[in-house]
Amino acid sequence: MKSPDPSAPRTSWLRASTRVTLLLLAAACAEPLIQHLPAEHSLQAWLEPVRNTLIALTIFAAAQLTQILISLRLSQRRKGQRPVPKVLLDLLRVFLFAFATLVALSLFFNRDLSGILTGSGLVLAVLGFAIRNVVADTLSGIALGIEAPFRMGDWVRIETLGQGRVQEIGWRTTRLVTRDSTYMILPNSQISRQRITNFSAPRKEFRDHADLILPVDLPVAEAKALICAALAGARSIVEERPAEVQVVRYGPQGISYRVKYWVPQLDHEPLCRDEVFSLIDLALRARDIPFASAPVAPPCAHEGALREDAA
């Protein structure tokens, strides 16, 4: 793949600044040049339209230059800093060119901006009612870009909608790529109404756990040491954060343990879980230690536990 040219951003704003300078010179020189012509010359009638056209072009060129400079400033980020959402850059571009359009219209129609804004507001109200679903998705996309609950590259879980890595945050939709390489396109208005879990913030790694039940005749201290020693050689979990083992439940049928370990990022979760259980199983079989069978609760006890959890 062709690597990006590092001089391209500088070239773009240099071209834009040159364009603004040339248009300013043309707008400043047009009126004196035309006024030096004879009074009966046909170009005298075109003095005001030519001047307004040059000023309007200068305004659009200045808007483009402003957009390029601000985008370059926002795009410059330090190592480890997440990129600015694309929707914010698009919103900046739309705002600048919309403002330039209003100023240009005020020049050509000899009206102030308040009258033009009033007329455009009525048109936007009618269009907004006709495409209210699109407007809802767009406004939700703007809110997501400003609040930034997630950024491009984050692994997120959107309740009832899906889970995956954020590929792009657009005006109307957000695109996710799941761990199975499935492409998901979700409307922003639906995302804004759901609970969002970001697995990449404030850092990419997160802690997961695995539960298992061991016999009562195996001492707790020995079981913890055995599990920690087995996971010391794990390659998929975060090496700098050793696994922790805690007792969750103690009973005559067996002792329940919870093994807590750190996952580098969400797409490594199945691999980490598989390695953790495999290493623990290998260590237990080497010591001929069987897993304890989980006690089967009667239906009434199970329903009572569900009611307690709901309460």
Residue type present at position 260:
K
- State the pairing for strand pair 206-214/196-198: unpaired
Scanning the chain, the segments in alpha helix (DSSP H) are 8-35, 47-75, 86-109, 113-130, 132-147, 188-191, 220-231, 269-286, 299-310
Q: pTM of the entire structure?
A: 0.54
- Residue pair 69/93 in contact (Cβ under 8 Å)? The answer is no
169, β-bridge pairs? 174
Helix or strand or coil: residue 219? coil
Give how far Cα 18 sits from Cα of 9, 14, 21, 24, 59, Å: 14, 6, 5, 10, 13
Q: Is 263 exposed, middle or buried (0-12, 13-18, 19+ CB in 10 A)?
A: buried
For 299, residues 6+ apart whose C-beta sits below 8 A from its C-beta are: none
Distance CA 269, CA 53 (A): 60
At 303 the pLDDT is 43
Helix or strand or coil: residue 311? coil
At 258 the pLDDT is 95
Q: Residue 21 CA to chain centroid, in angstroms?
A: 37
176, β-bridge pairs? 166, 184
At 301 the pLDDT is 43
At 20 the pLDDT is 79
Q: Is 219 exposed, middle or buried (0-12, 13-18, 19+ CB in 10 A)?
A: exposed
Token pair for residue 3?
A: 């690597």
Q: pLDDT (tens digit, 0 to 9) for every residue of the chain, 311 residues total?
A: 344 444 555 567 778 778 878 877 777 776 666 666 555 555 555 666 777 787 888 888 888 888 888 877 776 655 555 566 666 677 778 888 888 887 777 777 766 655 555 555 655 665 555 566 777 787 788 788 777 888 888 999 999 898 999 998 887 889 999 988 899 999 998 998 899 999 888 888 889 999 999 999 999 999 999 999 999 989 999 988 899 999 999 988 899 999 999 999 888 899 999 999 999 999 999 999 887 765 544 444 444 444 444 44
